[in-house]
Amino acid sequence: MALLEVKNLTISFGGLRAVDDFNLSIKKGQLYGLIGPNGAGKTTVFNLLTGVYKPDEGIVRLEDKDITGLKTIEINKAGIARTFQNIRLFKDLTVLDNVKVGLHNHHPYSTLEGIFRLPRYYRVEREMNERAAELLKVFDLEGEADYLAANLPYGKQRKLEIARALATEPKLLLLDEPAAGMNPNETGELMDTIRFVREEFNMTILLIEHDMKLVSGICEELTVLNFGRILTHGKTNDVLNDPQVITAYLGE
């Protein structure tokens, strides 16, 4: 059984079909890529999968549970987390507190417990601090735990965003162009980080990316979007050597 099953996903904006009859099946543990030219509809697919948009048609299932049209927070609790092409951190919070934001889904306490600092509040806060510190150590960020997120170098901000997403304990991690704005050395480190996340957390990953070196280096299968429709899909090497892909995407 697929971890993620998407069937006939469609959405229009102002009469224009941004995503048209999109289908996708990802098995648990896969590292899958979604590629295509700018404006092809890739991020729109992510927004549909995470509840930012509601589809006009189609079904999204996670572990055979229908999550179509649920709110973003409900989809996150069901097991899908994401990062963004333009990094979205709480830049006025510390590195540690950014990760703790992701932990609140699984370590809740009531408003009353928080206001009056009841025993459960202190226990949950201690648990979150410990778990957040563990995640920061995984990403070699423990030394910057008390830094403001805005003061981290760009590459480490990317790592922090992934750490925060993992704090929600997802079953599926969506990475939206994580190499955007990175130099070749940073991209190489990112490849290692993504491989590590997959192995260390037994994570299933769906990746949007323009960097073909990164895509070919880590993705097992690819789907190619063009003008909102699937151009082709299959094993990475087969897809990247497909003449129609070279024309529509690599040759843009």
Structure tokens at 31: 């590292």
**CA-closest candidate to residue 248, choices 45, 42, 36:** 36
Give, rounded to a whole angstrom, the gap between the first and last alpha carbons of the chain: 36
209 three-state secondary structure = coil
Beta bridge partners of 61: 5, 66
234: left (phi over 0), alpha (psi -120 to 50) or beta: left
pLDDT of residue 138: 92
Over residues 119-162, the pLDDT tens digits come to 666 687 888 889 999 999 999 999 999 999 999 999 999 999 99
SS3 234: strand
Which two three-digit tokens encode residue 7? 């069937």
> What mean pLDDT comes out for the span 208-236?
95
- 3-state SS, 86-103, equals CCCCCCCCEHHHHHHHHH
Angle at 102 between CA 112 and CA 201, to 5 degrees: 135
Mean pLDDT value of segment 175-190: 92
- What confidence tens digit (pLDDT) does each residue in 26-76 have? 999 999 999 999 899 999 999 999 999 999 999 999 999 999 999 999 999
Per-residue confidence at 216, pLDDT binned at 50, 70, 90?
very high
Write down the pLDDT at residue 116: 46
* Cβ atoms 170, 81 nearer than 8 A: yes
Instruction: State the Cα–Cα distance between residues 65 and 180, nearest whole angstrom.
Output: 32
SS3 for 68-80 is CCCCHHHHHHHCE
pTM of the model: 0.92
**CB burial class (10 A; 0-12, 13-18, 19+) of residue 190?**
buried
Q: What angle (nearest 5°) sits at the alpha carbon of residue 136, between those of residues 113 and 93? A: 55
Asked if 60 and 67 count as a contact pair (C-beta separation under 8 A), the reply is yes
pLDDT number for residue 111: 57
pLDDT at 105: 72
Distance CA 248, CA 252 (A): 6
Nearest of 237, 216, 214, 210 to residue 38 by alpha carbon: 210
Q: Where are the domains of the chain?
A: 1-79+170-252, 91-169
Distance of alpha carbon 85 from alpha carbon 83, whole angstroms = 7
Domain 1-79+170-252 has CATH 3.40.50.720: no
Top-confidence residue, 247 or 94: 94
Residue 4 has pLDDT above 60, yes or no: yes
pLDDT in tens, 62-116: 999 999 999 999 999 999 999 999 999 999 999 999 999 998 876 665 555 555 4
Helix (H) / strand (E) containing 167: helix 154-167
